[in-house]
Structure 1
Amino acid sequence: MILEFRTYRLKPGTSEDFLRVMAEDSVPLLEKAGLRVVDFGRSLVAEDGHEEAYLIRAFSSLEEHERQEREFYGSEAWLAGPREAIVSRIESYHTIAIETSEEAVEALGRR
């Protein structure tokens, strides 16, 4: 399994709206497209006072990760859907991916 951690540094004052759009629009759209969302939410730590959030997703392989991301982020559903409401609130983001077991993925899931 490939476990992807994406962190978002949000523009000041946008975290509530960002998380609402994630919960109501973006995550359901990701899941409808077949992407496995393990968890998402607000960071418990505001590094240097910044509002931050995270998204954790799982993929069966690195190739599947690349294929699913390419298809999803190029889709009309994303581009005409919640993309602007998400992207407009992000100051920067960082992604890491690690190889792990299905058991570790399941242990992280809170959804």
Structure 2
Amino acid sequence: MILEVRTYRLKPGTSGEFLRVMREESVPLLERAGLRVVDFGRSLVAEDGHEEAYLIRAFGSLEEHERQEREFYGSEAWLTGPREAIVSRIESYHTIVMEASEEAVKALGQR
């Protein structure tokens, strides 16, 4: 399995709305497009006073990761859907992609 962990440093005062849009619009859209969302939420620690959030997704292979990301982020559903509500609240983001076992992926999704 390929595990992607994306962290977001959010603009001040935007985490509540960012997470609402993630929960109600973005994550359902990702799942309808066939992407596996393992977990998402707010960071328990605000680094340097910044609000932060995360998104964890799993893929069958690195090639699948690259293809699904390219297709999703280029899709009309994303571009005319929640994109602006998500992107406008992000100050910066960082992504890490690594190998993980199915068991580890399942464990991350259980909270």
Same fold, judged at TM 0.5 (above) = yes
In the alignment of these two chains, the number of paired residues is: 111
- Identity rate, percent: 88
Q: Which runs of 4+ in 1 moved over 2 A?
A: none
Matching residue of 2:17: 17
**Is the counterpart of residue 39 in structure 1 residue 39 in structure 2?**
yes
Give the Cα–Cα distance (whole angstroms) in 1 for the partners of residues 75 and 100 of structure 2. Answer: 28
Gaps of 5+ in 2: none
Q: Map residues 43-82 of structure 1 onto 2, 5 A cutoff.
A: 43-82=43-82
Gaps of 5+ in 1: none
Tell me which residue corresponds to 1:108.
Answer: 108
Q: CA deviation at 1:20?
A: 0.2
* One-letter amino acid of the counterpart of residue 75, structure 1: S
TM-score by length of 2: 0.99
Q: CA deviation at 1:47?
A: 0.3
- Root mean square deviation of aligned Cα: 0.8
1:41-60 superposed Cα distances (whole Å, 9 cap, x missing partner): 00000000000000000000
Q: What amino acid sits opposite 1:104 in the alignment?
A: A
Deviation at 1:72, TM superposition (A): 0.1
Give the aligned residue type for 2:108.
L
